[in-house]
Chain A
Amino acid sequence: MEKTLHQFFQILRRYDVEVTTTEAVDALQAVRLLGYGNRHRLKAALGGVLAKSEEEKSMFNDCFEGYFRVPEEVSFSSGDSLTDEDEYSQDMQEEMQQILETTNNAEALNELLASSRDSKPQLDEAQDIENLGVQSKLGQILLTGEQEEFTILMAQAARQVELHQLTQRHLKGRFARQMMIQMGFPELETEIKDFQQRLDPKAKHVADLLQQAQSGARHQVMQYVGQQLLLQTGNHDERTLERITRETNLNDLDLGLYDNVYRVVQKMVRRLLAIHQRRKKLYNRGQLDVPKTLRKNMRYDGMLFEPYWKRRKIDRPKLYVLVDVSKSVSAVSGFLLTFLYSLNELLPRVRAFAFSSELGEVSHYFEQATLQEAVEKTIEEFSLSCTDYGRSLEDFERVCLHELDNRATVIILGDGRSNHLNPRQDILKAIYTRAKKVIWLNPEPRYRWGTGDSEMPLFEPYCHTLEECRTLNDLEHVVDSVLSQHGQ
């Protein structure tokens, strides 16, 4: 069974559930302790040892259901070494029975078994199958209608042809053929021909039955191989998907896949949290304060028992985010806000403003609704009119300029295209003078800055940092640098 579990680990890794060597060893130990008798317990045990977050847990559940699945594709046995075949088969049958009792597919399988049992009377008519001399193992299994045995045979064949190596769709047919050879389809074929040539009507009847069963069995093998392929490759290999999502221009991403993108964002956020939380703490405790230590230890006769550390008050930074939500920029804006509000543990004081022709605060949306809803509301409310940077900056000046001080960072995300209206760069200058840092993120490539109605050259002198920002990777980089500055 170990081999089966190792294959399962491989699949989990492919689906982005990290399985380290220690965890693999733990999982094997857990399985050894519990056995395979109870599917629920097996799932609980493997889940407990292998899945380490809610996200991984749900991924694990999907993989478990897909991999340890009955009836057609019981991979319990797909990769096993069958050193003690008979004993193993017996165990396997018991296991199967138990799995059947607990699985969701039980009903479907029972129906299947019932139908195969229904077909038995026909066989009982030809009670003397053996007398008729059905020699091939596959033929016997098919005629008796024992689904379990067929599944075991299929799983053994899968192991022999190393089905777990199937990762490319065009090889599906080849693997299926190899499996059928291993399962004894060619022998069965010869046998059917043999029966058909006999004159005995009973033999003809058996031949018909065998042929019918054979085509059903072939279908099952194809289905099994197909499902294994899906599991091995996943039509969405998580890592490749993540890489593509990170590198694609956010405007080109299909927002129907918002959940996928959001998952990638959450992962990036966790990474940022892990890095910056530690940094914050390191910064938290200062050096040894000698005078205070001496004073504190006077009562111990000058013995230095209790050191006193200098503590610096943690500077809670203020972050103002102004996002352009006009059509060309809205996707990037949405994800920037998602990023920043996901980091509320590190950035508790984010104030978000959205603008196109007018500017308004949207922080309250993020406090009340889920991130996705808040982003949708923001875009819906502000994206209708044409962009006017001058007016939007005037609005910001009126609401917030007086609050800005040397703890404030202002992030502006926009393409700087103001429809030839007055861009009011003087207000940006005022912001630049008061705030600790002004960061401008532009989703357009640099060579387009200053072309047409782009006012970037006017804004540029009043930004501490000016960067292109089109993909999730760019966003992560920007947020990372904002957090680093606050940690210093």
Chain B
Amino acid sequence: MSRAQLNAYIRHSLPDLSIEELERGYATEGYICNEHVTTSVFLAQKMDKPILVEGPPGVGKTELAKATAKVLDLPFIRLQCYEGLDESKAIYEWKYGKQLLYTQVLKDKLSGILSDEKDLQSAVHRLRGFSDTFYSEEFLEPRPLLKALTNEQSSVLLIDEIDKSDYEFEAFLLELLSDYSISIPEIGTISAKATPMVFLTSNNTRELGDALKRRCIHLFIEFPDAELERTIISSRVPEISETLREQLVDFVQGVRQLELKKQPAVSETIDWARALLLLHADSLDAALVKRTLHLLLKFRQDLESVTPQVEEILIKGKI
């Protein structure tokens, strides 16, 4: 199969959904997002490009990858990045134990096979005739990235928190992200059987390299506006009353206007909504908010600065 044919084959191996279909799919999976997100996923799927998702923690970057896997009905492979992650943990590793056994077996067999050779030279010559299996795919232990490439079926590959990994690892990824192939020095290049849909997420703890950025479609997910957040809450916590939902979202939106160490994320709004539901609350009042504020704010300084302003934020929300 020529390269062009291979590319054509690869291109068709991903499901082909329109933006509207994606939107519906995400809604069914309970992942509520704006058109910006679906457009980016649509383009990534059509252009065979990875998506680099950036944004503050808790806006649903990882969720997006998971939801996409469900919507496209593809297997989900995840690689969590951290400092010190290298190719042996992310791409492949040799099965040393098996290789060792193989050399033992080889040693035993070889003495029998080569015993009738007269001298060393002819023995070496004969040895060259055997195929070299020591470094072959048989002894290769695939890690997430290689797994995503060797899968017969397309998959959704999530490379989570890429900004936590080292620069070297970022460089390893370049080949994978542009050509969907990986070079293993002992074997050669392994190309994707079916192109995976790749999501990379970053919290911007460090600046990513230009080379990596160039290969991706960028998606910045910001905190949702009040309307979108209301929809999210009603989808994730459907039991909540309308009044409470309105008040809760307005309050969270109000808190996000303040200068805080960590702004409350969508996941925290959801947690808070669930907690309020457990407490059988119908509406928000200052006392209830103060009692449960720690579900929304995770830093002591933030709690201290927001608590005195609770009444004010609630009133503003009403207006």
Contacts and interface: CB of A to CB of B under 8 A. Distances in A.
Q: Of B36, B54, B99, which is in contact with the most chain A CB atoms at under 10 Å from its CB?
A: B36
B162 to A, nearest CB: 14
B167 A52 contact: no
Nearest to B205: A345
Interface in B161-177: 166-168
A301 B218 CA distance: 50
Given A48-B40, A48-B43, A41 B168 contact: no
Contacts of B187: none
Contacts of A57: 218, 220
A369 B280 CA distance: 39
Interface string B197-226: 000000010110110011001111000000
Given A48-B40, A52-B213, A274 B46 contact: no
Interface in A248-301: 270, 273-274, 277-278, 281, 300-301
B155 to A, nearest CB: 22
Interface string A27-55: 00110011000001100110111011110
B33 to A, nearest CB: 11
Contact of A274 (B36, B49, B96, B207): B207
Given A33-B46, A270-B207, A277-B206, A48 B214 contact: no
A400 interface: no
Contacts of A26: 47, 49, 217
A22 B168 contact: no
Given A30-B47, A301-B100, A47 B218 contact: yes
A278 B167 contact: yes
Contacts of A345: 206
B39 interface: yes
Nearest to B54: A54
Contact of B39 (A44, A54, A270, A277): A44
A40 B47 contact: no
B96 A40 contact: no
Nearest to B46: A33
B217 A48 contact: yes
B57 to A, nearest CB: 15
A45 B39 contact: yes
B19 interface: yes
B136 interface: no
B218 A34 contact: no
A20 interface: yes
A303 interface: yes
Contact of A300 (B47, B96, B220): B96
A44 B218 contact: no
A474 interface: no
B100 A41 contact: no
A281 B166 contact: yes
B48 to A, nearest CB: 10
A40 B35 contact: yes
For the complex, would chain B's binding face be called helix, strand, loop or mixed by DSSP majority? helix
Interface in B21-60: 35-36, 39-40, 42-43, 46-47, 49, 54
Contacts of A30: 43, 47
Interface in B257-294: none
Interface in B136-177: 166-168
A459 B128 CA distance: 74
A273 B206 CA distance: 9
B246 to A, nearest CB: 26
Q: Of B39, B96, B207, B210, which is in contact with the most chain A CB atoms at under 10 Å from its CB?
A: B39
A305 interface: yes
A467 interface: no
A52 B218 contact: yes
B103 interface: yes
A289 B190 CA distance: 31
A167 to B, nearest CB: 28
Interface string A1-35: 00000000000000000001011001001100110
Nearest to B51: A48
A13 to B, nearest CB: 15
Contact of B36 (A20, A44, A51, A277): A44
A41 B167 contact: no
B217 A49 contact: yes
A49 to B, nearest CB: 6
A29 B167 CA distance: 30
Interface in B108-152: none
A29 B47 contact: yes
A105 to B, nearest CB: 20
B39 A34 contact: yes
Given A44-B40, A48-B39, A52-B213, A281 B167 contact: yes
A250 B219 CA distance: 37
Interface in B42-89: 42-43, 46-47, 49, 54
Nearest to A22: B214
Nearest to A38: B35
A300 B167 CA distance: 32
Contact of B218 (A41, A48, A278): A48
A22 B210 CA distance: 13
Closest 3 CB pairs of A and B: A44-B39, A52-B213, A44-B36
29 contacts: A20-B214, A26-B217, A29-B47, A33-B47, A34-B43, A40-B36, A40-B39, A41-B39, A44-B36, A45-B39, A45-B43, A47-B218, A48-B40, A48-B43, A48-B217, A49-B43, A49-B218, A51-B218, A57-B220, A273-B207, A274-B207, A274-B209, A277-B206, A278-B167, A281-B167, A281-B168, A305-B96, A305-B99, A345-B206
Given A45-B40, A300-B100, 14 more contacts: A26-B47, A26-B217, A33-B42, A34-B42, A41-B35, A44-B39, A44-B40, A48-B43, A48-B219, A51-B218, A278-B167, A281-B167, A300-B96, A345-B206
Interface of B: 19, 35-36, 39-40, 42-43, 46-47, 49, 54, 94, 96, 99-100, 103, 166-168, 204, 206-207, 209-210, 213-214, 217-220
